[in-house]
């Protein structure tokens, strides 16, 4: 380890994982999780940090030839592995001690169950936010600024909450938003979400930064297709990467694997600043003198800061005939531009409050667009995500014109606590709340909801 410790610089970075030494100098700048975490831990044993969030063979697959440098002292490696396994055992014991999943009656209860045993690092990653977390807090608060106006004396003995999400039949007006690193919470990670989504009839959004290789998730989809007798709903998140050949390869693989739509995430063309998360990672940043007067051109090496509307034709060429949606839109003019460019629709979102802090919430953006141009909401498929935790909140959004609502964190926590059963339980919670709220509102189908059934505080933002 003494030799490894000498390679602790950005221009000379070695790490140890499971007793094996790797040179990551030529890779860290392209790390999807950001370069800072690698640089901060260069020259160290990162077994406990690395293994819980990466599937087997990640290093061998992604590092260039010659990166493996050898083995560390067996005793040091054994100590590191013992610590890792002890932590994994602690988490497993905590999960096994949870009350039956059937006793979970709300999404927040599922989150609390997961947080009762997850490490501080895992919990922070799932619930983390950029800077001061204003946008993350606003996501939850936005729904509380509106209330529902029910109608009475209507026959609601039979209620149908089914709809179409991203062109796919869905049992409910919800879908699983793409969210990375499900493996951080549970050994089966994204597979829990694939199975739970298929077995309840909702659409799964697969993250471009999923824990498991896309090929394995698509194989799990194929198994579910066979089980349920029809293609399950699955859409794939796309990031424009600096290395466009990698974007192309991912998109072609997703299309060949049978995804029904692409969600191009457009609010992450540069990295974020999740201060609390970076603190836990041990990130160190510069404190060097210097006067910077020219343009700032350095960005993270994974996301492509050059992305523009011109790139859409290229993306369409990779997926002929497939629906494409922009994810991470706030402004009405961007929705109009998406329509002009022939896209299927937009997901109004501030990335869960994890990108630009103080960015408007998806629900507030929906309200604003509905007020300014109600026809646009009819002409373009509009979805929202961020902050929704109740079935009644889903119906608020649908009444204002959204086709559906995405939930990310709730499903990450649900699968962390109870695996696939947690995903299914989360769907059943929302299903009960949606059906109950529809009946109490006096509607039997989603298309009976309309803006007149929601009244909101009329803030004035100038």
Characterize the bridge pairing of strands 20-23 and 12-17. antiparallel
Vertex 143, ends 175 and 112: CA angle to 5°? 65
Vertex 222, ends 250 and 384: CA angle to 5°? 60
Of residues 436, 387, 419, 408, the one with CA closest to residue 145: 387
Task: Give the span between the Cα atoms of 39 and 285, in whole angstroms.
Answer: 10
Query: What is the torsion angle, in degrees rounded to the nearest 10, for the CA atoms of residue 26, residue 32, residue 33 and residue 37?
Result: 10
Task: Give the span between the Cα atoms of 335 and 381, in whole angstroms.
Answer: 10
Task: Give the span between the Cα atoms of 382 and 360, in whole angstroms.
Answer: 16
Q: If you search the block for the tokens 């994994």, which residue do you land on?
A: 88
Q: What are phi and psi of 303, to 5 degrees?
A: -80, 150
Task: Give the span between the Cα atoms of 276 and 121, in whole angstroms.
Answer: 10
Which token pair is 242? 């600096």
Complete DSSP assignment for 367-422 = HHHHHH-HHHHHHSEEEEESS--SHHHHHHHHHTT-SEEEESHHHHHHHHHHTHHH
Three-state secondary structure call for residue 246: helix
Per the annotation, the verdict on 273 as an active-site residue is no
Which token pair is 449? 């909801």
Which residue is catalytic, options 7, 331, 351, 450?
351
Q: If you search the block for the tokens 């709809």, which residue do you land on?
A: 163
* Phi-psi label, residue 91: left if phi above 0, alpha if psi -120 to 50, beta otherwise: alpha
Sign of CA dihedral 257, 383, 327, 192: negative
The residues assigned a catalytic role are 351
């Amino acid at each position: 380890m003494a030799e490894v410790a000498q390679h602790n610089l950005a221009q000379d970075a070695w790490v140890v994982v499971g007793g094996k030494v790797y040179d990551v100098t030529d890779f860290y700048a392209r790390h999807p999780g950001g370069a800072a975490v690698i640089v901060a831990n260069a020259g160290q044993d990162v077994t406990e940090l690395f293994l819980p969030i990466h599937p087997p063979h990640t290093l061998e697959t992604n590092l260039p030839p010659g990166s493996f440098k050898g083995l560390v002292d067996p005793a040091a490696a054994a100590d590191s592995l013992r610590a890792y396994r002890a932590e994994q055992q602690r988490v497993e014991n905590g999960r096994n001690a949870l009350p039956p999943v059937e006793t979970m009656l709300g999404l927040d209860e599922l989150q609390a169950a997961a947080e009762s045993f997850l490490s501080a690092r895992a919990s922070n990653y799932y619930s983390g936010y950029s800077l001061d977390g204003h946008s993350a807090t606003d996501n939850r608060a936005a729904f509380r600024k509106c209330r529902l106006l029910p109608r009475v004396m209507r026959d609601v003995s039979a209620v149908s909450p089914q709809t179409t999400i991203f062109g796919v039949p869905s049992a409910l007006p919800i879908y699983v938003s793409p969210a990375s690193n499900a493996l951080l919470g549970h050994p089966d990670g994204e597979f829990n979400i694939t199975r739970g989504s298929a077995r309840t009839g909702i659409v799964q959004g697969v993250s471009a930064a999923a824990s498991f290789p896309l090929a394995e998730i698509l194989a799990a989809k194929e198994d579910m297709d066979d089980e349920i007798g029809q293609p399950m709903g699955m859409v794939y998140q796309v990031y424009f990467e600096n290395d466009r050949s990698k974007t192309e390869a991912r998109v072609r693989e997703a299309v060949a694997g049978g995804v029904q739509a692409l969600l191009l995430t457009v609010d992450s063309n540069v990295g974020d600043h999740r201060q609390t998360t970076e603190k836990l990672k041990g990130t160190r940043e510069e404190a060097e003198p210097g006067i910077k007067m020219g343009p700032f051109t350095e960005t993270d090496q994974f996301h492509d800061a050059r992305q523009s509307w011109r790139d859409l034709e290229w993306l369409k060429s990779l997926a002929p005939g497939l629906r494409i949606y922009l994810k991470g839109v706030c402004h009405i003019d961007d929705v109009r531009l998406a329509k002009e460019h022939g896209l299927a629709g937009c997901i109004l979102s501030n990335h869960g409050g994890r990108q630009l802090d103080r960015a408007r919430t998806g629900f507030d953006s929906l309200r604003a667009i509905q007020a300014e141009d109600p026809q646009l909401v009819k002409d373009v498929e509009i979805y929202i995500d961020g902050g929704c935790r109740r079935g009644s909140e889903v119906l608020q959004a649908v009444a204002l014109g959204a086709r559906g609502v995405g939930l990310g964190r709730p499903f990450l926590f649900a699968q962390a606590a109870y695996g696939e059963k947690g995903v299914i339980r989360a769907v059943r919670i929302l299903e009960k709340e949606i059906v109950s709220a529809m009946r109490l509102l006096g509607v039997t189908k989603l298309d009976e909801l309309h803006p007149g059934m929601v009244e909101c505080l009329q803030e004035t933002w100038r």
